[in-house]
Amino acid sequence: MGPQTDQSRRMRVTGLRWEAEGVCSLELRPAEGGPLPVWEAGAHIGIRLGNGMERTYSLCSDPADTSKWRVAVLRQRSSRGGSRWIHERLRPGDVLTVDAPANNFPFAPGRDLTLFVAGGIGITPLLPMIRECRAAGRPWRLLYLGRSLDRMAFLGDPLLTGPVDIVAEDRDGRADPARWLGRVTEATRVYACGPEGLLSALDESSLGWPPGTLRVERFQARAATGPVSAEAFEVECRRSGVTVAVDPETSVLAALETAGVAVASSCREGICGSCETPVIDGEPDHRDSVLSREERAANETVLICVSRARTPRLVLDL
């Protein structure tokens, strides 16, 4: 599973819309005209903001519409400047540099049933998936959770009609997603996006499910746990012939950049997938929030911005 690396483009903000308390959506069209690249449900884009920051946002528009993209941005209380800049400074007509879509949350519906669980702004990547299920006539259900109705975006979207359970905590109390999901079989797929507490609870619930049943998208890094080893280790870049020592205070990505090895990267928190790198030899200590339990066990790739090594040496396809 690797991110797409197509060319970035200049895009004009052609619409800003208030979707809920603290949530605005951006409509983006190519500044120079022409069609946009094709993308699939679950994809996200990187946007380079006018304050020098870069942030990634899930596409929530129609993949079949190559004239424009739409993302929704929640103003974070603890914003480091990204969401605050968008809400306070961005205006229609502004031009931004936007990366081509990448997809670390690809959609493959269940054979019998697809279940969606959204927490707050986590509804955004699920909207194109629901659109695909509706268009194909596939069975699906959605549990949409939020603190209050006024903070839940897209409640009026026609996509959210049908088998949808809306649970606002201040009105309905707290929901039990595991109870709502019920019996999960090999023919079921569960797609979830939302705050870490929700996704961690679903991770625990899924331990007895068939492998690959639960697929999640995180907007924040998983809660950190201690590394397997705090020792230094070596990383060999097989194609470039460079070997670097990675000390306990340095990331693999930073060590390679210092040695002059160019690697695509963005978030540096293990959530965007930009730095996902094939592993040739050695065993990674996976610290990311992108790879599934099965992908971590396979040890075929590693996100080098946060992950380390369980073995004294890692050999990467770089």
Burial 90-117 (b: 16+ CB within 10 A, else e): beeeeebebbbbbbbbebebbeebbbbb
Q: Virtual CA dihedral for 61, 8, 266, 12, nearest 10 degrees?
A: -50
Secondary structure element (H or E) that encloses residue 133, with its range:
helix 126-136
Q: How confident is the model at residue 79 (pLDDT cuts 50, 70, 90)?
A: low
The full length of the chain comes to 318
Sequence-ordered list of residues with C-beta below 8 angstroms from that of 50, at least 6 positions apart, any chain: 85, 89, 90, 94, 96
Distance, CA of 81 to CA of 265 (rounded, Å): 19
Place of tokens 């959204």: 118
Average pLDDT over residues 240-262: 94
pLDDT > 50? residue 235: yes
> What tens digit of pLDDT does each residue of 272-290 get?
888 999 999 999 999 998 8
Cβ atoms of 109 and 138 closer than 8 Å? yes
Distance, CA of 177 to CA of 193 (rounded, Å): 12
Average pLDDT over residues 145-159: 97
Cβ atoms of 175 and 145 closer than 8 Å? yes
Residue 81 pLDDT? 74
Backbone torsions φ then ψ of 67, nearest 5 degrees? -95, -25
Average pLDDT over residues 31-47: 95
Q: Which residues sit opposite 191 in a β-bridge?
A: 116, 215
Q: Distance of CA 317 to CAs 237, 241, 276, 280, 304, Å?
A: 6, 10, 11, 6, 12
Q: How confident is the model at residue 298 (pLDDT cuts 50, 70, 90)?
A: very high
SS3 at position 178: helix
The type of residue at 293 is R
List the 69-74 sheet strands across, edge first. 54-58, 44-48, 95-98, 9-20, 23-30, 69-74
> What tens digit of pLDDT does each residue of 154-207 get?
999 999 999 999 999 999 999 999 999 999 999 999 999 999 899 999 999 998
Structure tokens at 55: 């942030």
Could you write out the three-class secondary structure of 203-268? HHHHHHCCCCCEEEEECCCCCCCCCCCCCCEEEEECCCCEEEEECCCCCHHHHHHHCCCCCCCCCC
Average pLDDT over residues 35-54: 92
Q: How confident is the model at residue 5 (pLDDT cuts 50, 70, 90)?
A: very low
Distance, CA of 2 to CA of 125 (rounded, Å): 18
Burial 180-203 (b: 16+ CB within 10 A, else e): ebeebeeebbbbbbbebebbeebe
Backbone torsions φ then ψ of 90, nearest 5 degrees? -70, 140
